[in-house]
Structure 1
């Protein structure tokens, strides 16, 4: 419906942040699983590059396994890092939702005149 750069960028950011929240939840759920390597979601640099190229919808959301040191059981999930990342991701998601809401308020105001 809305294919302008701002709308597509906001949608891409929300998609990446939602994916990060799911990966963080998976990391926390597997904190005691032997051999489990934490996942890390990366999309911000790709989104920035895609926006600069005028194609924000083409930004990939990548999930990579962490190469941080592991504990004796081969697991490298750090609960403190996951909690902080979850709070940061939640705040970023709220910010993107607010920006989306503000965009629709502006559109509604423009339509009403």
Structure 2
């Protein structure tokens, strides 16, 4: 039950979204650091491939943004980070509700046995 593709994929998604949240926080914390390049997290393509392969297990990858920099060499854009943070938080909430629903179904099944 805990090794089903959907359950493993949901946990992989939560891990990827959590990594993205930490990276966004790091970006915002370094918004005034000269030469700092914003981090970007990708995991969706790897997760899609993992689900198609029947495993569901995928990990996120963090890279540095190649977006243009300001005069100080920093390329963190607060507006972009804020919007990405809102989107990431909403996606995390949906994923946690899906995992919670999975556990709720398990509890119901155990009670009826």
TM-score range, shorter chain: over 0.9
Contact in 1 for aligned 2:15/2:59 (Cα 8 Å): no
Q: Do residues 81 (structure 1) and 80 (structure 2) align?
A: yes
Pairing 1:8-23 to 2, within 5 Å after superposition: 8-23=8-23
Q: How high is the TM-score relative to the length of structure 2?
A: 0.95
For 1:39 and 1:74, how far apart are their aligned partners in 2?
A: 14
The offset of 1:60, in angstroms, is 2.6
Aligned residue in 1 for 2:98: 99
Unaligned runs of 5+ in 1: none
Unaligned runs of 5+ in 2: none
For 1:47 and 1:29, how far apart are their aligned partners in 2?
A: 28
Pairing 1:26-37 to 2, within 5 Å after superposition: 26-37=26-37
For 2:81 and 2:69, how far apart are their aligned partners in 1?
A: 15
The two structures, once aligned, show a CA RMSD in angstroms of: 1.0
Q: How high is the TM-score relative to the length of structure 1?
A: 0.95
- Regions of 4+ moved over 6 Å: none
Aligned residue in 2 for 1:55: 55
Q: Deviations over 1:42-88 (max 9, x none)?
A: 0001100110000111x231001001000000000000000000010
Aligned residue in 2 for 1:112: 111
Q: Do residues 39 (structure 1) and 39 (structure 2) align?
A: yes
